Amino acid sequence: MTSITRTTAPDPRHDEILTPDALAFLARLHDQFAHRRQERLEARMSARTAIENGRDLRFLPETRAIRENTEWRVAGPGPGLEDRRVEITGPTDRKMTVNALNSGAKAWLADLEDATSPTWANIVGGQLNLRDAIRGEIDFATPEGREYRVTATETPTIIMRPRGWHLVEKHLCHTDRAGHRRPASASLTDFGLYLFHNAHALIAGGRGPYFYLPKLENHLEARLWDDVFTWSESALGLAHGTIRATILIETISAAFEMDEILYELRDHAAGLNAGRWDYIFSLIKNHRDRGRSFVLPDRDRITMTVPFMRAYTELLVQTCHKRGAHAIGGMSAFIPNRRDPEATERALAKVAEDKRREAGDGFDGTWVAHPDLIDTARAEFDAVLGDRPNQVDRQRPEVSVSARELLDLSTIEKTVTDAGVRANVSVALRYIESWLRGVGAAAIDGLMEDAATAEISRSQLWQWIHQGVVTEEGTRITRAHVEHELHEVLRMLDRSLDDRYDDAENILRQVALEDGFPTFLTIPAYAHYLVETAPAREPLAA
C-alpha cells in the first residue's frame, strides 16, 4: 500500500486542504514521479562536479536539431495570460493575497518558494488563502480591527510558484510500494494540492491553473515537469495543455538549454522569466572554485548591463519570441518610503530606467515586489506596447550569443569593498533570521528581499574567502575578517528575547564560513523547523 501521511497534529482549517482525496492524489503523484525526481537530483550533483573540475558549459551538440528547427512553437498564453506587462510577486499570506488582488497588476506570482518561509502554517495557510481567493472568499482583519477586502473589479491572473525539486516537505511522509518512508517532495506537494483544489474553479472563472517553475537546471528536469502536468491533467479530467508554465531561467546551466526547456514543455509552456538574482548565485555556486576569473564584485555593482547579464537576457528574449513564448523581465524590489520623498524619487527613476531597458529589449512584461512600483513599471511598458498585449512578434534576429559570452566575466570591473563584505554579512544574517521566524519576504535596507538575496550574499563571502580576495581598501577577506564583521553586525542589532539571531548566526557560519558549500542555504536552515508529531492515525491509501 502506498500513502501520504501527516506528521503533524491537526489544525482547525488544515483539513480543508489535506482532505483524504487530496492526499490520495499526492500519493499517486509521488508513486509516479518521486523516483525520477531523485534521479534528476543525483544528475545535478554529477553535472556540478564536472563544472567544478573544469568543464565549461556549452550548448548541447546532441540537441542541436531542436535549436535549429524553426518550425516548432509552444502552446503560449492561456486565458488571462495574454497581457503580462506588470506582474506583482509576493508570498501567499492572507494580507498579501488581498493586496496583490487589489494591486492593479496583470498577474500575481503567488509564491510558495523564495518569498515564503516554509513553515507548515505558511504552506498550508498559503494553499487555503489561494483557494479562498479563487472562490472570491478572501478577506483579512488586523488585530487592531483594520479590514482588508478585495475591491478591484479586475484582479490579476494568479500564477503559483511551487518550491523547487531540491526541497522536501517533512510534514508529510510518502510510503512507497516497497514500504520505504521518506519526506514528501515539496514541489509535488505544492503543485498537487493547488491543482487538485483549484483547477476546475480557475477554468470556470475564465482562467486556468498556471505555474512558475523555479530552479530548473536542464531540459530533462523540464521533461519531468511536463510528464507531471500531462499525468495530472489526465488524472483530474483536464484537457491536455490546460496547465501553463512559465519557467524561470535562474540557473547558469539552464541558460544554455532555453530552447530545449521550452521544447520539452511545449504543450504547456507560456514563457521564460529572467530570474536575475538566483542566476548570479548559480554562476557563483558552480564556478566558486574555478579561480579569480569567476570572482564577482560587490553585489550592487552587478547590474543588468554588464556583458554576461546582457548576453543572458538578450538570448532569453530572442529564444522566447522565436517559439511564441512570453519573455518576462526581472525583479524590482525597492520599497517606497513616504517619509523620504527625495530618496523615493531617485529610486523610482532607477526602476523606470530598468523597465525602460527591458521593454526596449523586447520583454513582454516584468516583475515588481511592491504595489507602489506598478504605475512606474506599467508606464514604461505602455510606451512600447501601446494597445498590444505583448511584443512576441518582435523576433530579434540580430541577436547572436555564444557560449563564451554567457560565461565571460573578463570585462567586468571586479572591485570588492569593505562595505560590500559588511553588507553581505548583514543582509544574509538578517534575512536568515527573518526566514526562521516564518517571514520569507523581508524588508531590509529599503528593499524587499527573498532567499535569492541571501544566497548571493553568502556565496560571495565563501568565494571571496577561498579565492583570497583583497578589498579596495586593502583588507584580505579571510574567515577571521568575516567573523569580525559578523560580530560587529550582531553587536549593532536591536535584539529581542524571541529573535532567532543565534540560530541565524550558526546557519550563516555553516553556509558561508565552512569548507563545504551547501547547494542551497534553505536546506540546512529547514532543519531548524520542528515537526509537531500527531497522534497515530491511519494512512490514506492511494
Give me the tens of pLDDT residue by residue for the chain, a chain 542 residues long: 678 998 887 787 899 999 999 999 999 999 999 999 999 999 999 999 999 999 999 999 999 999 999 999 999 999 999 999 999 999 999 999 999 999 999 999 999 999 999 999 999 999 999 999 999 999 988 888 888 899 999 999 999 999 999 999 999 999 988 888 999 999 999 999 999 999 999 999 999 999 999 999 999 999 999 999 999 999 999 999 999 999 999 999 999 999 999 999 999 999 999 999 999 999 999 999 999 999 999 999 999 999 999 999 999 999 999 999 999 999 999 999 888 999 999 999 999 999 999 999 999 999 999 999 999 999 999 999 999 999 999 999 999 999 999 999 998 999 999 999 999 999 999 999 999 999 999 999 999 999 999 999 999 999 999 999 999 999 999 999 999 999 999 999 999 999 999 999 999 999 999 999 999 999 999 998 866 444 434 334 33
In the chain, the N- to C-terminal Cα span, in Å, equals: 7
SS3 328: strand
**What is the rounded distance in angstroms from the CA atom of residue 174 to the CA atom of residue 426?**
38
**What is the rounded distance in angstroms from the CA atom of residue 345 to the CA atom of residue 149?**
29
Any idea how long the chain is?
A: 542
Residue 531 is predicted with a pLDDT of 61
- Going edge to edge, which strands form the sheet with 168-175? 181-185, 168-175, 3-6, 540-541
Q: Do 328 and 84 contact (CB within 8 A), yes or no?
A: yes
> What domains can you pick out in the chain, each with its CATH number?
12-405 (3.20.20.360), 415-526 (1.20.1220.12)
Q: Do 370 and 335 contact (CB within 8 A), yes or no?
A: yes
Q: What are phi and psi of 356, to 5 degrees?
A: -65, -40
Give the three cell numbers for residue 337.
Answer: 518610503
Q: Diameter of the chain by CA atoms?
A: 65
- Report the DSSP beta bridge partners of residue 367: 87, 331
Residue 338 is predicted with a pLDDT of 85
Residue 530 is predicted with a pLDDT of 66
What is the H or E stretch that residue 87 is in?
Answer: strand 86-91
Rg (CA), the chain: 22
Residue 7 is predicted with a pLDDT of 87
Give the three cell numbers for residue 384.
Answer: 512600447
Show which residues are catalytic: 161, 450
**What is the rounded distance in angstroms from the CA atom of residue 197 to the CA atom of residue 493?**
43
**What is the rounded distance in angstroms from the CA atom of residue 417 to the CA atom of residue 387?**
46
**What is the rounded distance in angstroms from the CA atom of residue 435 to the CA atom of residue 73?**
40
